[in-house]
Structure 1
Amino acid sequence: MAESLLGPTSWKILPFYFPRSPSTPASSSSPSMASFPSHHHQCRCSSNPNPNHPQPSLLVFSGGTAFNGVAEELKNFTTRVAHVLPVSDDGGSTAEIVRVLGGPAVGDIRSRCLRLSDHSTAEAQAVRELLGHRLPLDPQRAKSEWYSIVEGDHSLWIGVSKPYRETIRAFLAYFQNQIVRRSDESFCFSNGSIGNFFFAGARIFFQSLDAAIFLFSRVSEIPSDSLVLPVISTNDRLTLGCELWDGTIIRGQNEISHPTSGSMDPIKKESSSTPALPSRIKRVFYMSSEGKNLLHEVFPTANPAVLEQLNNLDCIVYAMGSLFTSICPSLVLLGIGETISSRSCLKVLMLNGTHDRETSGFSASCFVTAITDALNRTYGDPCNRLQNLPRQYINTLLVPRDGEIPIDKDHLASQGIYEVIVVDSIRDPKVGIIYDLKSLIQALADLLSSYLKSQVAKV
């Protein structure tokens, strides 16, 4: 159930063929596309029972955790969703891959791909369990299990047919080959994600993050009109930085949101498990050591595919999650604010149900201000600043019932935001108040239905 708080107011599929990387000799450790299941050479398309009324199209800015459950439920409403994800995650096995092999972080992308993957058949479920598996925390046990998987005799392979098995194993073996070649770096498999290893192997083989995502999407059978897009299409290693209002600079996504002191243990995301920041966050930005010995600020461009999708949709969603380390990293890039402000579509902020380390003391209008500042690049390079108003970026708020974040109506109204809709919630014992998924999807569906009817009326 949802109620108003403030009152009324193509993806083109190409044939499945990937040429051998010119720098990669043919060998038993190099993936061979000849082993890929033949029925994937032409991707299946989701059927629409009523082609005169196509499914609504959405673009969602999110991270790899908080929105995952919503993403799975959202498929029951529409599969025409572009999921835009940052490539700056530096925790767990993702950090170990980046440390040894370089490149962008793939953890959030892998996580979303798995949530969108098919699990309607026994084999699809087996593939999903394999790619979603994590190795033990103990380094020796983890290494032993990894070899059992890559050699093909682990029980996780049960239910995976030979064509799938040969394809997946080929990229896992290629990942292993890349680690062995870097003998000066000792790779730790502790808590390692098999999906991350597969993804990293594919990215290095193709020398393309986009190609790796395409391969992963087909292997895990994501609906063909659902897209998983890195906000930056790069093979470089990027580090997220933030500047606090007291002038402090923090380097690394995990150091900003969930400091772990280098531990490989699973990250505990409860707000009570992390110390408070000494000051509020002023801005986030990207850093790189490419071409120099020391980390320095860089200004990467947004993935052109993201900008293209922003121009062809019905609704933009800023999802719940870590505001400054999951959402804002996708908003500060050149072209994002310009494109969003030019659109007259629905622009929905899904407000968090609880405070976290990044947003302690925030009200609803503070979230709106942070998103506006990120899209305007208010505190970045003066040459790249915009001066758009909050209402040009957000026109609707969804808030969970009984959430911790104060809804300051007057401040929201001064920002030009009048449509605030309360959605039923539940209390999660680990993270507190969260949205009831079915109620959240229904609220989104009702909003889109009203918006699309209004668009038809204008015509």
Structure 2
Amino acid sequence: MLFLQPIRDKGLPVPDTKSLPRVTISRTVTLPDPTRAALYRRAPEFGPKLLFFSGGTALRHLSETLIDYTSNSIHLITPFDSGGSSAVLRKAFAMPAVGDIRNRIMALADRSITGNPAVFDLFAYRLPKDATQEELAVRFGRMITGEDPLVRRIPDPMRKIIRTHLHFFEQRRPPSFDLRGASIGNCILTGGYFNYNRMLDPVIYLFMQLVEARGVVRPIVTADLHLACQLENGRVLLGQHLMTGKEAAPIDAPIAKLWLVADLDDPTPATVRIREKTETLIRKADVICYPYGSFYSSLLANLLPQGVGDAVAATDCPKVYIPNLGHDPEQRGLTVAGQTARLLGALEGGCVKACRRDDLLRFVLVDSKKGRYENPLDLPGIRRLGVQVLDVSLARDDNPDQADSRKVAELLLSLT
């Protein structure tokens, strides 16, 4: 693929690669491969398409590191968040959660002087929590008119676009909407959502252009749905915020089942299918990574929509699972082998066509020497599932219960 971009730049016709013969080539790689990483670092615009199914903030540091090596990473984000500021927005506007999408775009943004640091600062800003609603409404109004310093320092036409989206947000903001702690980036995304007739893709694309994000960020689906789960003790929880242990007490029994619902007051399962453009993104991946983060509400949640498993199975590239090195309340009672089995089960459950397990997951990356895994690794159990274990250096030297972003990035790059 590296020859295609220069040809486009010269205005010459691009070869029709669909009609060309294809072959499968196997090779032996060194993990990590410093030479390959160095090559990508010299020309990140030609970097590989590393695809991640994720959500939340767990991949923020990795995403910030990735832009040193590739401008082409793909991030499929769960839009089912029901906690924090996303809950306020979703309740007020009946829309998918945009907070995790904004976080990932910001992590991929060009923060250098050649980027748009003024736009980045505005999108990352949150209104103070200790001001009155009247004071915040006045401040927000000054942002809409362009008088606020954070908006005023942004050059046109970007400033006009941002003000327009804030105006759309303000027009639809209910009088009871609490502005305390509101993310301006989320407000801009929400305003754009209404400006584009409740379509997320156009405003996400515009948002990414404004901050010069180095990669692709998309919600796995754009439907207004929520997560539900049943614990092994029979208790049913409706809402992602009840599973993570952050806004409610940690779950008191392992999660037995996960599904989607249309309403937080109704446990009836809802179905949704990924769009063709999402399937195309998956099929273009050079590596598919199931990364660390909240195991159910971030990772497995992305695999619930129909079509994900089939798209993954049809993609001829390495598929890698990187478990959490430290504590995750959602993984109660699960060894890493148990997590791997649940991951495979979620993928296989999403496959209409018969497929081999190694078409869904080939490798599990662990760090048995330094990782502070909450439950036993059970490496033989992973191998019995037909998955290859790669025992490599992943943990941070100063904080072994977290992954080192540079190490993870270079390991994934080595598989391309």
TM-score by length of 2: 0.82
| SS in structure 2 of the partner of residue 425 of structure 1 | coil
Is the CA contact (8 Å cut-off) linking 2:336 and 2:382 kept in structure 1?
yes
Distance 2:366 2:142 in 1: 46
Is the CA contact (8 Å cut-off) linking 2:46 and 2:70 kept in structure 1?
no
Q: Counterpart of 2:196?
A: 206
| Correspondence list, 1:88-107, <5 A | 88-107=80-99
Q: Counterpart of 2:366?
A: 399
Task: Select which of 383, 390, 397 maps to 1:413.
Answer: 383
Could you tell me how far 1:142 is from its partner in structure 2?
4.2
Distance 1:146 1:418 in 2: 53
Could you tell me how far 1:232 is from its partner in structure 2?
0.4
| Correspondence list, 1:51-62, <5 A | 54-62=46-54
Q: Residue 246 in 1 paired to residue 233 in 2? A: yes
Could you tell me how far 1:230 is from its partner in structure 2?
0.8
Distance 1:428 1:367, change over 3 A: farther
Is the CA contact (8 Å cut-off) linking 1:427 and 1:434 kept in structure 2?
no
Is the CA contact (8 Å cut-off) linking 1:427 and 1:433 kept in structure 2?
no
Is the CA contact (8 Å cut-off) linking 2:379 and 2:389 kept in structure 1?
no
Give the unaligned 5+ runs of structure 2: 6-39
Q: Residue 197 in 1 paired to residue 191 in 2? A: no
Q: Percent identity?
A: 26
Distance 1:289 1:124, change over 3 A: same
Task: Select which of 138, 141, 144 maps to 1:150.
Answer: 144
Distance 1:160 1:57, change over 3 A: same
Task: Select which of 337, 350, 366 maps to 2:322.
Answer: 350
Q: Counterpart of 1:299?
A: 271
Distance 2:178 2:390 in 1: 47
Residues 36-64 of structure 1: CA deviation (Å, up to 9, x unaligned)? xxxxxxxxxxx99889x953222111113
Task: Select which of 267, 276, 286 maps to 2:250.
Answer: 276
Task: Select which of 119, 124, 144 maps to 2:116.
Answer: 124
Distance 1:389 1:364, change over 3 A: farther
Q: Counterpart of 2:178?
A: 188
Could you tell me how far 1:305 is from its partner in structure 2?
1.8
Q: What residue identity is the alignment partner of 2:381?
A: H
Distance 1:259 1:419, change over 3 A: closer
Distance 1:318 1:420 in 2: 15
Distance 1:69 1:438 in 2: 9
Q: Residue 258 in 1 paired to residue 239 in 2? A: no
Q: Counterpart of 2:24?
A: none
Could you tell me how far 1:360 is from its partner in structure 2?
2.5
Distance 2:155 2:259 in 1: 44
Q: Residue 285 in 1 paired to residue 255 in 2? A: no
Distance 1:388 1:362 in 2: 25
Distance 1:278 1:402 in 2: 28
Distance 1:211 1:295, change over 3 A: farther
Residues paired across the two proteins, number: 373
| SS in structure 2 of the partner of residue 287 of structure 1 | strand
Q: What residue identity is the alignment partner of 2:166?
A: L
Distance 1:50 1:216, change over 3 A: closer
Q: Residue 440 in 1 paired to residue 408 in 2? A: yes
Could you tell me how far 1:373 is from its partner in structure 2?
1.8
Could you tell me how far 1:97 is from its partner in structure 2?
1.1
Distance 1:115 1:258 in 2: 24
Distance 1:148 1:359 in 2: 45
Q: What residue identity is the alignment partner of 2:256?
A: K
TM-score by length of 1: 0.75
Q: What residue identity is the alignment partner of 2:408?
A: L
Residues 188-211 of structure 1: CA deviation (Å, up to 9, x unaligned)? 012110000000000111021111
Is the CA contact (8 Å cut-off) linking 1:318 and 1:349 kept in structure 2?
yes
Distance 2:339 2:250 in 1: 18
Distance 2:342 2:185 in 1: 33
Give the unaligned 5+ runs of structure 1: 1-9, 12-46, 262-274, 379-383, 449-459
Could you tell me how far 1:143 is from its partner in structure 2?
4.0
Q: What residue identity is the alignment partner of 2:258?
A: V
Is the CA contact (8 Å cut-off) linking 2:288 and 2:320 kept in structure 1?
yes
Is the CA contact (8 Å cut-off) linking 1:428 and 1:434 kept in structure 2?
no
Is the CA contact (8 Å cut-off) linking 1:376 and 1:386 kept in structure 2?
no
Distance 1:95 1:59 in 2: 27
Q: What residue identity is the alignment partner of 2:270?
A: V
Distance 1:231 1:120 in 2: 29
Distance 2:407 2:115 in 1: 31
Distance 1:114 1:192 in 2: 16
Which stretch shifts more, 102-111 or 293-302?
A: 293-302
Q: Counterpart of 1:230?
A: 219
Q: Residue 425 in 1 paired to residue 395 in 2? A: yes
Task: Select which of 311, 314, 325 maps to 2:283.
Answer: 311
